[in-house]
C-alpha cells in the first residue's frame, strides 16, 4: 500500500489558505449582498465553504494522493452531498 506523507510546508500553506477563507467567510457574513441579488449571501458562503472543504478533503484526508478508488468514493460522496443540499434548498 502506498503511503504518501505531505511536506510540512504543504500543511502550512493549506492552513494559511483556510485562515484567509475564514476571514472571507466572516466578511461575507457581515456584508448585505442580498440587495444585489436575492440569495447572493448564501451563494458566496457556499462557494467559500466548498473551497474550504475541498482543501481539507484533498490535503488532510490524503485524497489528493489516493488511489483511483479513493477518488471515485470521494467524488460520489461530493455528488451525494450536492444532491442533499439541492433538495434541502428546494423546500
Looking at residue 84, what is its pLDDT? 92
Looking at residue 1, what is its pLDDT? 56
Burial of 62: CB neighbours in 10 Å, binned 0-12, 13-18, 19+: middle
Looking at residue 35, what is its pLDDT? 87
Looking at residue 70, what is its pLDDT? 87
Per-residue pLDDT of the chain (91 residues; tens, 9 = 90+): 566 677 899 899 999 999 999 999 999 999 988 889 888 898 899 899 999 999 999 888 888 888 889 889 989 998 998 899 889 888 7
Closest alpha carbon to 74 in 85, 89, 62:
62
Amino acid at each position: 500500500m502506498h503511503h504518501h506523507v505531505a511536506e510540512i510546508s504543504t500543511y502550512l500553506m493549506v492552513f494559511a489558505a483556510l485562515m484567509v477563507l475564514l476571514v472571507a467567510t466572516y466578511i461575507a457574513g457581515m456584508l448585505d449582498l442580498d440587495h444585489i441579488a436575492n440569495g447572493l449571501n448564501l451563494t458566496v458562503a457556499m462557494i467559500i465553504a466548498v473551497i474550504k472543504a475541498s482543501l481539507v478533503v484533498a490535503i488532510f484526508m490524503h485524497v489528493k494522493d489516493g488511489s483511483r478508488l479513493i477518488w471515485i468514493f470521494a467524488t460520489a460522496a461530493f455528488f451525494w452531498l450536492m444532491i442533499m443540499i439541492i433538495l434541502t434548498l428546494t423546500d
